[in-house]
């Protein structure tokens, strides 16, 4: 009997002024478009969205702390109302542009420090959910497995998809290893596929300190700004089918 075919979603952060979208988007099935907080503007949003449409890639918003100087990777001390308005404004700009081009907003995924903060802090999670309440019934929310925001989003009735990272190392509590650690990012394509196969087939991963922990994922991220992003995605597209794993597009 042939092994059962598994279909997965691979997402990538794009529109972040890296300039590799033309090569990357044909290799993924969903994308997260920077919408002005840490990177991006209306021109880059439109250009990236049209490429995604061409390749039948699902489109998501990738809001962050309003901090282009630090690429959204530093926690900001910002008033809740100001943050809610910023996050909501970022997404609404992208959503309006998509609507004008007859495209749909499939999902929302916070970026960088905001992603990490809402994953572990209930107040921050509630602030973020308040900011995206307009899209509760129409868009999925990409969140880490067993995170604070995943639990709170489900309690409030949001539609969620669990996300895991193919190019990042994990701590035992399922938080991502800090980028200040030289081992945080996985650049070797063969290491990435090993990491992903464990998550896809065994529903577990090996942490930086050598422990094995449970994880569940509906979508797997390869960062667009990872130095070897294109090489990683190309390798995955070639090798995953050998393990009866296929990227679900459209």
Residue 182 in any domain: the answer is: yes
In a domain, 217, yes or no: yes
The pLDDT value given to residue 136: 98
pLDDT tens by residue, 123-139: 999 999 999 999 999 99
**Separation CA 39–CA 133 (nearest Å):** 23
Calpha distance 77→199 (Å, rounded): 35
Which of 212-232 are b and which e, b meaning 16 or more Cβ less than 10 Å from the residue's Cβ? eeebebebbbbbbebebbeeb
Encode pLDDT of 67-93 as tens digits: 999 999 999 999 999 999 999 999 999
Give the pLDDT confidence score for residue 1 in this predicted structure.
Answer: 42
Q: What pLDDT score was predicted for residue 250?
A: 65
Mean pLDDT (whole number) for 22-48: 97
Q: Is residue 1 part of a domain?
A: no
47 vs 64: CA distance, rounded Å: 20
Q: Is 239 domain-assigned?
A: yes
In a domain, 54, yes or no: yes
Rounded to whole angstroms, the Cα distance separating 34 from 17 reads 9
Instruction: CATH number of the domain at 208, please.
Output: 3.20.20.370
Alpha helices for the chain (secondary structure H): 21-24, 42-54, 80-100, 112-120, 122-131, 148-156, 189-202, 229-239
Structural domain includes residue 27: yes
Taking each helix axis from N to C end, the angle separating 80-100 and 122-131, rounded to the nearest 10 degrees, works out to 40
Residues 6+ apart with CB under 8 A from 192: 166, 167, 186, 222, 232, 235, 236
The pLDDT of 162-177, averaged and rounded, is 96
pLDDT at 249 > cutoff 90: no
pLDDT band at 2 (very low <50, low <70, confident <90, very high): low
pLDDT at 108: 98
pTM comes to: 0.96
Can you tell me the distance from the alpha carbon of 143 to that of 66, in angstroms, rounded to the nearest whole number? 20
Q: Convert 30-44 into a string of H (helix), E (strand) and C (coil).
A: EEEEECCCCCCCHHH
What is the number of structural domains in the chain?
A: 1
Per-residue pLDDT of 206-243, as tens digits, reads 999 999 999 999 999 999 988 899 999 999 999 999 99
Percent of the chain exceeding pLDDT 70 equals 99
Is 174 a domain residue?
Answer: yes
Which residues have a Cβ under 8 Å from the Cβ of 164 and sit 6 or more positions away? 144, 145, 199, 205, 215, 217, 219, 220, 221
Rounded distance, CA 227 to CA 221, Å?
A: 14
* Domain limits for position 210: 6-247
Mean pLDDT score of the chain: 96
Look at residue 160 and give its three-state secondary structure: strand
Is 118 a member of any domain? Answer: yes
* φ and ψ of 125, to 5 deg: -60, -45
Does residue 119 sit in helix, strand or coil?
Answer: helix
Q: How many other CB atoms are there within 10 angstroms of residue 136's CB atom?
A: 15
Q: Strand pairing partners for 213?
A: 205
Using alpha carbons, select from 116, 35, 39, 44 the residue that is nearest to residue 71. Answer: 39
């Amino acid at each position: 009997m042939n092994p059962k075919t598994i279909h997965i979603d691979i997402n990538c952060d794009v529109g972040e002024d890296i300039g590799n979208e033309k090569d990357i988007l044909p290799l993924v099935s969903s994308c997260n478009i920077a919408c002005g907080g840490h990177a991006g503007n209306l021109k880059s949003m439109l250009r990236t969205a049209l490429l995604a449409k061409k390749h039948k890639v699902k489109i998501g918003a990738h809001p962050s702390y309003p901090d282009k100087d630090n690429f959204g990777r530093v926690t900001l001390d910002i008033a809740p109302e100001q943050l809610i308005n910023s996050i909501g404004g970022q997404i609404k700009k992208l959503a309006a542009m998509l609507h004008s081009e007859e495209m749909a907003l499939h999902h929302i995924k916070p970026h960088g420090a905001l992603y990490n903060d809402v994953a572990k802090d209930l107040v921050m999670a509630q602030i973020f959910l308040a900011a995206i309440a307009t899209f509760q019934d129409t868009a999925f929310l990409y969140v880490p497995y067993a995170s604070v925001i995943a639990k709170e989003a489900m309690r409030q009735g949001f539609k969620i998809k669990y996300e895991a990272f193919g190019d990042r190392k994990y701590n035992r509590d399922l938080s991502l290893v800090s980028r200040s650690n030289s081992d945080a990012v996985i650049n070797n394509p063969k290491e990435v596929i090993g990491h992903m196969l464990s998550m896809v087939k065994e529903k577990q991963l090996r942490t930086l300190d050598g422990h094995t922990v449970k994880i569940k994922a509906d979508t797997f991220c390869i960062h667009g700004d990872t130095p070897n992003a294109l090489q990683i995605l190309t390798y995955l597209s070639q090798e995953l089918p050998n393990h009866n794993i296929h990227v679900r597009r459209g």
